[in-house]
Structure 1
């Protein structure tokens, strides 16, 4: 019984992030959003997922990612955590 309770608690703590596709935001800018539901994911990890997706997107074009704005929403462990990144891709 204790083992099942421990496994259930670990499952809740190990929430997986969902990262959106990159979408155009106008004026050469793009957005990408990472959302984590449940668990106690560190904000650094949530933000890093959006930054990685943006960096990969720009690198595929042979460009460098430049962060324009990064907003976070939610309360860790209480409501879904969300990091919304606005970025641009510039020539290296």
Structure 2
């Protein structure tokens, strides 16, 4: 019984993470959003997930990711946490 309660508690703390598709934002910029629901995920992890996805996208094009802006929304543990990254991909020279 203790194990089941502990697993249920960990599931609640872990939350559910979703990462949006990369979308064009104009002027050679793109956006990607990471959202975490129902957890106590550190903001650094939420932001890092968006940064990693953007980096993978640019690397797949043979380019390097450049962060333009990062906006965060939500309150950890109370409302969904969201990190919206605006970035560009620069040619590697």
TM-score computed with the length of structure 1 as normaliser: 0.95
Matches within 5 A, 1:13-92: 13-92=13-92
Task: State the shift of 1:14 in Å.
Answer: 1.2
Q: Is the strand fraction higher in 1 or 2?
A: 2
**Runs ≥4 in structure 1, deviation > 3 angstroms?**
none
Q: What's the secondary structure of 1:16's corresponding residue?
A: strand
Q: What's the secondary structure of 2:16's corresponding residue?
A: coil
TM-score computed with the length of structure 2 as normaliser: 0.94
Name the CA distance, whole Å, in 2 between partners of 1:66 and 1:25: 14
Count of residue pairs the alignment pairs up: 92
In structure 2, the gaps of 5 or more residues are none
RMSD across aligned positions (CA)? 0.9
Name the CA distance, whole Å, in 2 between partners of 1:47 and 1:72: 8
